Copies of this chain bind each other. A is one copy, B any other.
Amino acid sequence: MLPVETAVRLKRNSAGLIPVVVQDISTKDVLMLAWADDEALRRTFSTRQATYWSRSRGEYWVKGETSGNTQYVREVRLDCDADAILYLVEQRGPACHSGLNSCFDSEKLLTDDTAG
């Protein structure tokens, strides 16, 4: 579970949420950015199934509960400012609801000018 001393230090936004960067522990691809409150963190820590707070639906959301594309949380890191969290996960299937591997796979705003 979430240690009390950590919970005290976490810097949440005005809605009580903290951003969670989700990275595939095998490929190191950044899969998505989601949000968690204390209860979502508590559920994630106790089950190791990535659980978030859906801001659009206003409810807890076990990633993959419907699609089967679950995230087993192998490691959780806190950043130096205590205002962002990183999950290292084993991703089953594609992480994005679009069917793409990562939610960041859909669109490049700026392309590599040093490639090729």
A-side residues, CB < 8 A to B, are 2-3, 6, 13, 19, 21, 23, 28-30, 32-33, 45, 48, 73-81, 83-86, 88, 96-98, 100, 103-114
In the complex, A78→B104 CA distance in Å?
A: 6
Bound-state Cα–Cα, A78 to B40, Å: 25
A97 cross-chain contacts in B, Cβ below 8 A: 80
Copies in the complex: 2
Q: Give the distance to chain B from A87, nearest Cβ to Cβ, in Å.
A: 9
The chain B residue sitting closest to A1, CB to CB, is B110
Query: In the bound complex, do residue A108 and residue B74 qualify as a contact, i.e. CB atoms below 8 Å apart?
Result: no
Interfacial chain B residues near A28, Cβ < 8 Å: 28-29
A45 to B, closest residue via Cβ: B110
Q: A75 touching B19 by the CB < 8 A rule?
A: no
- Name, among A73, A77, A96, the residue most crowded by chain B CB atoms within 10 Å (CB to CB): A77
- Does B2 lie within 8 Å of A109, measured CB to CB? yes
Chain B residue numbers with a CB within 8 Å of A81 are 103
